Amino acid sequence: MESFLLFLRSHGMATAHPLCRWRQFAVALFCAGCAVIGVTVSAAPLAAIVRDAAGAVVADAVVYAMPAAGTAAGPRSARNVVIEQVGREFVPYVTVVQAGTTVAFPNRDKLLHHVYSFSPAKTFEIKLYSGAAPFDVLFDKVGVVTIGCNIHDWMIAYVYVVDTPYFARSDSAGKAVVGEVAAGEYDLYLWHPQQRNQPATTRLKLDGKTAAELALTIDVTPRRQKFKPPANPASYQ
């Protein structure tokens, strides 16, 4: 009873006539319920199949949806992101993250790596190490980050940093699963490290009820693998 009276006092109802107090209390509960309903937004799955100009599926394409004016952004993406060094390669080749995400760079090889980037969106250096990296890297600016190894010139990876929780990378079948996207209007973007030109932005209107699977096309050049010499642990190779 005491807590109930405190609630009434906090809403200016404790001094009113008992009947008025109950009416005011009912109105307060109704308004609170309406507020909760008002912030509940429906969402539905969004995915895409990415192909090149010849119709072949494209892996490692970045697909992301930016809320248009008037559409509220969803909650931050909470993902554990890891870029491994395995077999003297970065895995995965392309990673997409939301700005503010921290990425770990474990070295699974039996030799040392020296990971770095000079990209404007993120400059960092993790000097020679094996196993777990001495620190994780925070990607806090939007843009493309090119990552290399100072010991192994052929090693390269890309981190694409976006300012939206709605994003995905296409798999070996060309499919990019963005996940649940709230109802509203969005600008859809597409990027690939070997793209010949920047694809046009697509405006989407999603109702938050119907699953959408888009067919996207991007003109890309084949990825060229750099020469990779036989492993030689004695020389860090």
Q: Taking CA 121 as the corner, what is the angle to CA 98 and CA 196, rounded to the nearest 5 degrees?
A: 90
pLDDT of residue 131: 97
User: What mean pLDDT is predicted for residues 189-211?
Assistant: 96
What topology does CATH give the domain 77-163?
Immunoglobulin-like (2.60.40)
pLDDT of residue 208: 94
Confidence of residue 233 (pLDDT cuts 50, 70, 90): low
pLDDT digits (tens, 9 = 90+) for 61-97: 999 999 998 787 778 777 789 999 999 999 999 999 9
- CATH superfamily of the domain spanning 41-75+165-222: Immunoglobulins (2.60.40.10)
Tell me the percentage of the chain whose pLDDT exceeds 90: 70
Comparing 3 with 130, the larger pLDDT belongs to 130
Task: Please answer whether residues 58 and 50 qualify as being in contact, where contact means their C-beta atoms are separated by less than 8 angstroms.
Answer: yes
Task: Report the DSSP pairing between strands 113-119 and 89-91.
Answer: unpaired
Give 70's DSSP letter: T
pLDDT of residue 44: 96
pLDDT of residue 167: 97
Answer whether 41-75+165-222 and 77-163 agree in fold: yes
**Cα–Cα distance, 103 to 159 (Å, whole number):** 10
Half-sphere exposure of 18 (CA within 13 A, CB side): 0
Domain boundaries, the chain: 2-38, 41-75+165-222, 77-163
